[in-house]
Amino acid sequence: MHHIFTILSLGILLGFTSDDKICPENPQGIHYLKDIFADDFLVGTAIDYGEIRDTTNILHELIRNEFSAVVCENSMKADHTEPQEGIFNFRGGDAVVCYAERNGQTVTGHCLVWHSQCPAWMFGPDSCGNPVDRDILIRRMRNHIYGVCAHYRGKVKGWDVVNEAIEGDGSWRNSPYYRILGDEFIPLAFQFAHEADPDAELYYNDYGMDSPRKREAVVRLIRTLKARGLRFDAVGMQSHLSLWTDLSEYEKSIEAFAAEGVKVMATELDVSVLPWPGEMPNADISTNFEYQEKYNPYRDGLPNDILAQQADFYRQLFAIYRRHSADITRVTFWGVHDGTSWLNNFPIHGRTNYPLFFDRSLQRKPFVDDIIRDALSNSYSK
Ligand code: XIL
């Protein structure tokens, strides 16, 4: 046994590639994503009750082996955690936390303040029938953040404190939070989250980060929050991308955020291969188009040329992540495999999309091994 270790250490000293690495817990020498990128960033996935209750062993093995971080796809959103004012429900979130603990994975809290999947009471009249006003909304927001953050203190590494407050043109989104509190709701949310859990990292999370105007607005937001002395750890770039996303603009945003001295995370990565029926693609969950066959072209399988385009896109993307790994702390996919991706139902219900690393049979797509080889071969400098 001793000899094996000596030989292995010698191999490492002599600069053998990690292709030769054999860990006791991974005797087949399979390169799992979380291990390959362990020195670069966490590799995460979104899960929820569906995955936890699943009885397929290979699904659990896949989640445990490939990923070092998880996030709840829905269970920590306000409509789940506080469905009625003052009545909290942590069942889903607790199940995910417990599952992650068993797997040795970190948990991200998603999310505290978001206009979507927010219970109606948040913006409704109070018990005396008075319409919601500034003071009432601040109190509700504070109670919500305090309640949820206190419950997950020590269990959640960080929170998406505010989700999607900025439009693609850089203006503030006209959400009820904004209409009632103006942009002040953002610093307030960060303040409350920090008061409730001083050890938690705090993030601003949004989609469409390849838009230059949005990038500039996020940079302004970081500066404002920092100027006020508020804790701000990282920008979450949701990264709901498609084969047509301009990756050079996306990379510029990573650079711009890092230049502000904060970390960057890809928080909801998927790469859609299906046509977007409207003008500018977005990830606003209220966007909805009627089903038409022409928008669901790959119902019976993904043609090889499209798979090749996706392979090329993902390889370029991971080259970007590796180039910026000093600033990137986590890359999380939005879902485990194509079969359960939200993109089968967004922005059109009932399509067949192929956005992730794992196919419907839970097999790695062939290009994942190419990405792993790229990472092992040091072809991209850090
Ligand atoms: C999505 C979930 O994946 C769906 O299951 C749910 O029906 C709607 O929300 N941006 C976000 C995520 O921040 O919370 C959204 O998740 C996808 C877009």
Nearest alpha carbon, ligand 1 atom 12 = 73
Q: How far is the CA of 74 from the centre of ligand 1 (A)?
A: 7
Active site residue: 164, 167, 201, 251, which one?
A: 164
Q: How far is the CA of 252 from the centre of ligand 1 (A)?
A: 25
pTM (predicted TM-score): 0.93
Q: pLDDT tens digits for 126-167?
A: 989 999 999 999 999 999 999 999 999 999 999 999 999 999
Distance CA 271, CA 313 (A): 8
Helix (H) or strand (E) holding 327: none
> Quick check: CB of 108 below 6 Å from ligand 1?
no
The pLDDT value given to residue 378:
67
**C-alpha 282: how far from chain center:** 15
Q: pLDDT tens digits for 60-80?
A: 999 999 999 999 999 999 999
The pLDDT value given to residue 29:
77
Residue 25 — pLDDT band, cuts 50, 70, 90?
low
The pLDDT value given to residue 204:
99
Q: How far is the CA of 199 from the centre of ligand 1 (A)?
A: 26
> Quick check: CB of 285 below 6 Å from ligand 1?
yes
Residue 332 — pLDDT band, cuts 50, 70, 90?
very high
Q: Is 60 helix (H, G, I), strand (E, B) or coil?
A: helix
CA dihedral 99, 100, 104, 107 (to 10 degrees): -170
> Quick check: CB of 283 below 6 Å from ligand 1?
yes
Average pLDDT over residues 281-308: 97
Q: pLDDT tens digits for 230-250?
A: 999 999 999 999 999 999 999
Atom in ligand 1 nearest the alpha carbon of residue 267: 13
Average pLDDT of the chain is 93
Nearest alpha carbon, ligand 1 atom 9 = 285
- pLDDT exceeds 80 at position 27: no
**Which amino acid is present at 179?**
R
The pLDDT value given to residue 19:
45
CA dihedral 221, 212, 159, 355 (to 10 degrees): 170
Q: How far is the CA of 73 from the centre of ligand 1 (A)?
A: 6
Q: What are phi and psi of 211, to 5 degrees?
A: -80, 125
Q: Is residue 268 annotated as part of the catalytic site, yes or no? A: yes
The pLDDT value given to residue 205:
99
